[in-house]
Amino acid sequence: MKKISRRAFLPIAGLAPLSIPFLSVDKKEEEKTEGFPEILPNVLKKGDVVGVCAPAGCISELSEVKDFAHALRSMGFNVRTGKNVSLKYGYFSAPDKERADEFMDLISDKEVKAIFTIRGGWGCARILDLIDFNVIRENPKIIMGFSDITTLLNAITSRTGLVTFHGPGGNSTWNKRTLNYFESVIMKGERVSFSNIENEDQKVIVHSEGRASGYLYGGNLTVITSLIGSGYLPDFMGKILFLEDVKEEPYRIDRMLTQLRLAGVFSKVDGIALGVFRDCIAEEPNRAFTLEEVFDQHFKDIGIPVMSGLQFGHVKTKFILPIGVEAEISTSSRAIQMLGSAARK
């Protein structure tokens, strides 16, 4: 398949095929993705057993667990909840080892076909060195979440080759459009085009024009930034990076984007899709930049396609973005188009 060069996508004429290998910065030889093919989980079917775990923060109310389990059952699934889902241990659901064990128990359970997370918060990075990536590779299944779960998703895909899913958790809104994405991507294995239903409050803004293809990686900006140098992120060469955040002032967003730039991430990726940065406004707007101004400062002259305002992140309507799947982003269509399936039929 012909792909668009990251620095020469405009003008389109004169492009040559670009081969994008699946790379990893993993320090452990046995866990590198080099040499491993892309691993697709099986599509999820009605009647399948799905697991719910809490690898990060604790829930606010027990009703969240009941409501999520009811929602999954109403979709036709049999639900198996982890032992820590209803617990509280400070701002975690349980101590690190117990959270890791809960997750790995669901991974090892042959009956469980998918794992959903009850919420994000903070805590996934603390269990990364307690996760057995070889076991995950040998037991491929659907794994989905967002926010702090960004840590698990990117680490698992970069270390095993297993496609994971950036999508709603147990305390998220599962509205009709999000459910449609879930059915198409995870239950049917379709190649979906993700685009906004635009309104006056949510428009896609283009910061740098063009189109490019690459493997999707990303999630929460704060989480991605915190993992730089950890060995749990991929080599970003040839990737499409997607980012979102919530309740961070523009100067903090600026600081994190600067760190990614200085770490060489932006010089490697082929395109950047920015989601909804909800409530990311300045406390003192008269002495601050707007978020759009910050994005323009970083991306206006970057030479790769960049757009913001896409409907993923801490918002009611969420794209379900498959991490590790090849996709194309286009600022003319303002869409992310999957070029491959994310689940095996």
24, 93, 147, 158: the active-site residue: 147
- Count of beta carbons in the 10 Å neighbourhood of residue 297: 14
102, 244, 248, 326: the active-site residue: 244
At 172, list the tokens. Answer: 């998220």
Q: 73 phi and psi, to 5 degrees?
A: -65, -35
166, 207, 298, 314: the active-site residue: 314
Q: Cα separations (Å) of 263 from 121, 128, 226, 245?
A: 25, 21, 12, 19
- The C-alpha angle 6, 10, 11, rounded to 5 degrees, equals 135
Helix ranges restricted to H, 240-286: 250-262
Burial of 163 (0-12, 13-18, 19+ CB in 10 A): buried
Place of tokens 């400062």: 297
In the chain, the amino acid numbered 29 is: E
Residue 332 annotated to the active site: no
Nearest to 222 by CA among 264, 270, 254, 266: 254
Residue 147 annotated to the active site: yes
User: Residue 206 pairs with which residues in a beta bridge?
Assistant: 307
Residue 207 annotated to the active site: no
Residue 321 neighbours by CB under 8 Å, 6+ apart:
165, 166, 167, 194, 216, 218, 242, 312, 336
Active-site annotation, residues: 147, 244, 314
